[in-house]
């Protein structure tokens, strides 16, 4: 039996198992049935997760994680860089980066310890990017990290290490875009066009052509294999699954995934973009962006510590710690969770600056985490003069927060007020807590700043609550007030 026929047989077997799991219920492959889905409490309480882009694209460390595509497009900087650095694409192709993804410094336990220090509650590595290389053990793809490159089941090691640190493990699959991702290599003499490595380079078809049934079956089978092997409690997809060709497969996938995880005693979260899923049947994700409003359903913002890449490169434009913290608090105040990405080097080490940013976030959460973890939105998400741009790919053009920009969260009887832009003049004025607005009708019994031992002086007037801050607040990025009602 040929390798191709063996793969097809394996795919058919996996899809039979998928359909049996759907038939067993409780969820069926219909949007009506999936409307009964409820976001699990673990996710609503977690608020903060770590995203990881690590793969062969980390080797050239140039441009971004789309190097695999752009190195075959003559109008992209990666094309000229590749020829100057590695030679023509018919002699040194993307496949030739795989042996250089050595991972000799990859230590899943060290990664997990860092993520725990950061205060993360869930971790989501990319299992397969658009490039077709699987970072896990698989029977459906000979191009995988267990067989070559690191020669380790990266996803399996991370799953074990993350769960050992009491965090939730998730996965991201970007396989859908593989239909067209390498098509630039079909336009000139390259190793993509040669056809000998089609199992890696994929169909390399035009974006305008819808994927075939064989490709879609393969996509669903690979996703199901990931679910069976690693039981991810969050399954994240990139943007292309909203294409019409995928639509008949999505309720089938969701029913299978929800049934599988529920049967294993785990709470599943399926994250999507655009209009791939019917609202209420999964968790909506906003890439590199935020929401301008308080959303009624739990949602997710995914962004990176860098403005210009998701993977390791040599010239990152890094965000600052306070900027990342402000994104976290703003997202949580609007009923969301933040999935923050880092990009390890090809050797498996995490760049020192990125590790430092994660520790900075963890230090703030160590003091102020009670305003974040297990919190829920208040009646209004916040106040302040800064106008937020809604939607995707707005993270590099957002205005800088001012001391008047405040965000609110609640937990039990506590109301938390976070000053996104720090403080000015030794006080915080909270207009939303003025008596005349009646948003907080109870009498206020006490106001404290988290991390400060003594209660603070405050005065509640008709139009605002004025709180006098300790001197330490001036050196505190984003101080948090806890407002408690009188008993």
Q: What is the predicted pLDDT for the residue at 475?
A: 86
Cβ atoms of residues 55 and 101 within 8 Å: yes
Closest CA to 29 of 199, 258, 308, 233: 258
Q: How many CB atoms lie within 10 A of CB 390?
A: 12
Measure the CA–CA gap between 147 and 348, rounded to whole angstroms.
17
Q: Beta 458-460 vs 465-468: how paired, if at all?
A: antiparallel
Please name which of 71, 45, 300, 275 lies closest in space to residue 172, comparing C-alpha atoms: 300
Do you know the residue count of the chain? 487
pLDDT value for 467: 98
| pLDDT for 2 | 45
- CA of residue 225 relative to chain centroid, distance: 21
The answer to whether the CB of 416 falls within 8 A of the CB of 405 is: no
pLDDT tens, position by position, 411-444: 999 999 999 999 999 999 999 999 999 999 999 9
pLDDT score of 1? 37
Longest dimension (CA), the chain: 81
Specify whether the CB–CB gap between 45 and 118 falls below 8 A.
no
Report how far residue 437's alpha carbon sits from residue 143's, in angstroms, rounded to the nearest whole number: 61
For residue 170, the surrounding DSSP H or E stretch is strand 168-173
Evaluate whether 268 touches 235 at the Cβ level (below 8 Å): yes
Backbone φ, ψ for residue 130 (5° rounding): -65, -15
How high is the pLDDT of residue 4? Answer: 64
Provide the pairing of β-strand 444-449 with 458-460: unpaired
d(CA 386, CA 71): 40
Cα 11 to its chain centre, rounded Å, is 28
Euclidean distance between CA atoms 484 and 21, whole angstroms: 48
Are the C-beta atoms of residues 329 and 372 closer than 8 Å to each other? yes
| Rounded Cα–Cα distance for residues 48 and 365 (Å) | 10
Distance CA 31, CA 168 (A): 27
Structure tokens at 53: 């882009």
Cα distances (Å, whole numbers) of residue 126 to 51, 65, 132, 344: 8, 11, 12, 12
**Sheet of strand 444-449, all strands in order from the earlier edge strand to the far edge:** 382-383, 406-411, 414-419, 480-485, 444-449
Angstrom distance (rounded) from CA 330 to CA 413: 21
| Separation between Cα atoms, residue 283 and residue 273, nearest integer Å | 9
pLDDT of residue 6: 52
pLDDT by position in tens, the chain (length 487): 345 655 777 899 999 999 999 999 999 999 999 999 999 999 999 999 999 999 999 999 999 999 999 999 999 999 999 999 999 999 999 999 999 999 999 999 999 999 999 999 999 999 999 999 999 999 999 999 999 999 999 999 999 999 999 999 999 999 999 999 999 999 999 999 988 999 999 999 999 999 999 999 999 999 999 999 999 999 999 999 999 999 999 999 999 999 999 999 999 999 999 999 999 999 999 999 999 999 999 999 999 999 999 999 999 999 999 999 999 999 999 999 999 999 999 999 999 999 999 999 999 999 999 999 999 999 999 999 999 999 999 988 888 999 999 999 999 999 999 999 999 999 999 999 999 999 999 999 999 999 999 999 999 999 999 999 999 888 888 999 999 999 8
Whether 300 and 46 have beta carbons less than 8 Å apart is answered as no
């Amino acid at each position: 039996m040929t390798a191709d026929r063996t793969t097809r047989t394996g795919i058919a077997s996996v899809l039979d198992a998928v359909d049996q799991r759907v038939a067993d219920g409780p969820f069926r492959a219909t949007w009506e049935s999936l409307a009964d889905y409820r976001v699990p409490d673990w996710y609503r309480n977690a608020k903060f997760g770590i995203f990881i882009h690590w793969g062969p694209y980390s080797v050239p460390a140039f441009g971004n994680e789309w190097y695999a595509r752009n190195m075959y497009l003559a109008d992209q900087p990666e094309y000229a860089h590749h020829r100057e650095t590695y030679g023509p694409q018919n002699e040194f192709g993307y496949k030739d980066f795989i042996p250089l993804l050595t991972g000799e410094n990859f230590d899943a336990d060290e990664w997990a310890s860092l993520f725990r220090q950061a205060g993360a509650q869930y971790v989501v590595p990319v299992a397969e990017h658009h490039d077709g290389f699987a970072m896990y053990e698989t029977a459906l793809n000979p191009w995988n990290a267990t067989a070559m490159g690191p020669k380790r089941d990266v996803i399996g090691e991370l799953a074990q290490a993350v769960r050992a640190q009491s965090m939730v493990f998730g996965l991201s699959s970007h396989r859908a875009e593989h239909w067209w991702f390498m098509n630039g290599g079909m336009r000139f003499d390259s190793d993509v066009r040669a056809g000998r490595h089609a199992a890696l380079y994929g169909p390399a078809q035009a974006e305008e052509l819808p994927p075939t049934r064989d490709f879609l079956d393969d996509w669903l089978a690979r996703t199901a294999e990931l679910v069976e092997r690693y039981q991810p409690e969050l399954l994240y997809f990139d943007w292309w699954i909203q294409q019409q060709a995928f639509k008949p497969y999505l309720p089938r996938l969701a029913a299978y995934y929800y049934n599988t995880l529920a049967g294993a005693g785990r709470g599943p979260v399926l994250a999507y973009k655009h209009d791939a899923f019917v609202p209420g049947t999964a968790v909506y994700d906003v890439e590199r962006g935020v929401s301008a409003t308080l959303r009624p359903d739990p949602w997710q913002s995914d962004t990176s510590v860098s403005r210009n890449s998701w993977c390791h490169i040599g010239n990152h434009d890094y965000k600052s710690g306070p900027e990342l913290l402000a994104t976290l608090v703003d997202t949580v105040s609007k009923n969301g969770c933040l999935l923050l990405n880092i990009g390890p080097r090809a050797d498996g080490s995490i760049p020192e600056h990125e590790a430092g940013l994660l520790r900075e976030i963890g230090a703030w959460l160590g003091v102020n985490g009670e305003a974040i973890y297990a919190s829920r939105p208040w009646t209004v998400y916040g106040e302040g003069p800064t106008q937020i741009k809604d939607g995707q790919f707005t993270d590099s053009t957002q205005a800088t927060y001012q001391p008047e920009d405040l965000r609110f969260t609640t937990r039990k009887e506590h109301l938390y007020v976070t000053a996104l832009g720090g403080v000015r003049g030794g006080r915080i004025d909270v207009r939303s807590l003025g008596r005349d607005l009646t948003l907080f009708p109870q009498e206020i019994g006490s106001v404290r700043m988290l991390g400060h031992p003594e209660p603070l002086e405050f005065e509640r007037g008709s139009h605002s609550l004025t709180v006098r801050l300790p001197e330490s607040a001036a050196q505190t990025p984003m101080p948090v007030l806890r407002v408690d009602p009188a008993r």
